[in-house]
Structure 1
Amino acid sequence: MSLINERQDFSTIADTFLLHGSMQSPAFLDGRLCASLALHDITAEAWLEEVCLSLGVEQPRDESSAERLLGWRRQTLDALSAAELNFEPLLPDELFSLAERAQGLQEWTLGFLEVVADAGDEPRRAWSAALREALEDLEGLTSIETDLEDSPENENDLFALTEHARMAAMLLYTEQHPGKPQVEQVDEPTHH
């Protein structure tokens, strides 16, 4: 079974990090990845280099690790550019406590905003008010209370905040890539 089409989730990537001796959460790098794809169309090579740098290794330790890390980029790019708007940030899922999930969201946001800040003011001038507002709201997520009790109320709050991060990432991507995804389908004249 090839890893190429395997769906990369938080745990798979975290396990890949562990293989490389790193305990860090993939959430921070996923935030960076999303913003980098939106702003710089980061290449597969550049992404692999960034991950390795972050893990403190020179290169992935084996072929399957490299494939997983590249699959993660491809999957994120596919989701960001898909017309279904089904992009999801790579965050801890239901198997994790609410506190771990909140921390994941916070780390993701920090990574995402770091790349946005590094982009400087040049791209910002072209951004819509909606995008600027979404990014300002994200700033608030960097200081969210992560020590959450598991409760339906906190669960709902966290879901809403995650949805916010998700929308901000998609908005950034679509504004930097007009015409992808084609949200408003225009009927193309058909040629017979």
Structure 2
Amino acid sequence: MAAPDFIGYDELDDVVVHLKLAATASELHGSLCGFLAGNGRPGKRPLLELLHLDAGGVTAAGRDQAALDLLVRQSQDELADPELGFEPLLPADDRPLPERADALVDWCRGFLGGFGLGGPQIHERVSEEGREILKDFASIASASLDFGDEDEDEDALIEVHEFVRMGAMLLFTECHLPSQPSSDTLH
């Protein structure tokens, strides 16, 4: 059986449940994307170790580890995609709105935690716009959601999703640019 070349939300959720992780699939993906955006370098270390999710002796092996390795490669490729093809891994659009909204909150929470693993020096590389995005991600991550008009709520979720998608790519790009000299003088 050939290994898949793409891991989706449901496949990642199966791995998370199988490994009994204390994170949702969306939070795990958000953590990975935050780590990568914060200039984290996976190297050969397993994903759960990178993100400090290996507490309690949780280790992935076999099919689970292969899925997590694929997730790392896929996320790196998508974040760096010049065609802006990155997508946060969230439940499908046919899932209930509250489930999808909660997953986006989890994704942002994970992103912030993963980004923080880049250390304090990474924040020096982030522009004012990038700092605003991080603040907005923090607001989303701590949001308590209320639902009213389903059409309005769906539109709002689409807007927030697009903001998060673009914000993650912007932060990734900023943190992967070569350091600029502090002088405005060209030599």
- What range describes the TM-score normalised by the shorter chain of this pair? 0.7 to 0.9
Q: How many residues align?
A: 177
1:31–1:110 Cα contact (<8 Å) kept: yes
Alignment of 1:83-98 (within 5 A): 83-98=82-97
> CA offsets per residue over residues 138-173 of structure 1, 9 Å max, x none?
121023233535712111101111111111210111
1:107-186 pair list within 5 angstroms:
107-148=106-147, 151-178=150-177
Letter in 2 for 1:45: R
In structure 2, the partner of 1:59 is 59
Code of the aligned partner of 1:28: E
Q: Which residue in the other structure is 2:81 paired with?
A: 82
Instruction: Measure, in 2, the Cα distance between the counterparts of 1:166 and 1:114.
Output: 17
- The Cα shift of 1:102 comes to 0.8
1:101 Cα deviation from its structure 2 partner = 0.7
What's the offset of the Cα at 1:55?
7.9
Percent identical across equivalent pairs?
32
Q: Which moved more, 1:72-81 or 1:135-144?
A: 135-144
Q: Quick one: structure 1 residues 122 and 24, their matched pair in 2 at CA, closer, same or farther if it must change by over 3 Å?
A: closer
Q: Deviations over 1:95-126 (max 9, x none)?
A: 32111111111111111112333434322222
Which residue is 2:27 aligned to?
28
Task: Specify whether residues 149 and 92 from structure 1 end up closer, same or farther in structure 2 by C-alpha distance, changes over 3 A only.
Answer: farther
Aligned equivalents of 2:96 and 2:107: distance in 1? 16
The residue matched to 1:122 in structure 2 has which SS?
Answer: helix
User: What is the Cα deviation at residue 43 of structure 1?
Assistant: 2.8
Counterpart AA for 1:49: E
TM-score, structure 2 normalization: 0.82
The CA distance in 1 between the partners of 2:140 and 2:132, in whole Å, is: 13
Match of 1:166, SS? helix
Which whole-Å CA distance do the structure 1 matches of 2:45 and 2:119 have between them? 23
Aligned AA (1:11): D
Q: TM-score, normalised by structure 1?
A: 0.80
Structure 1: 5+ residue runs without aligned partners?
180-192
Tell me the distance in 1 between the aligned counterparts of 2:134 and 2:51.
Answer: 24
Given that 1:52 and 1:58 are in contact with CA atoms closer than 8 Å, whether structure 2 keeps it comes out as: no
Question: How far 1:23 sits from its partner (Å)?
Answer: 7.4
Kept in 1, the 8 Å contact 2:7–2:71? The answer is yes
Judging changes above 3 Å, is the alpha-carbon distance between structure 1 residues 178 and 24 closer, same or farther for their aligned structure 2 residues? closer
RMSD: 2.4
Tell me if the contact between 1:34 and 1:112 (Cα under 8 Å) persists in the aligned partners: yes
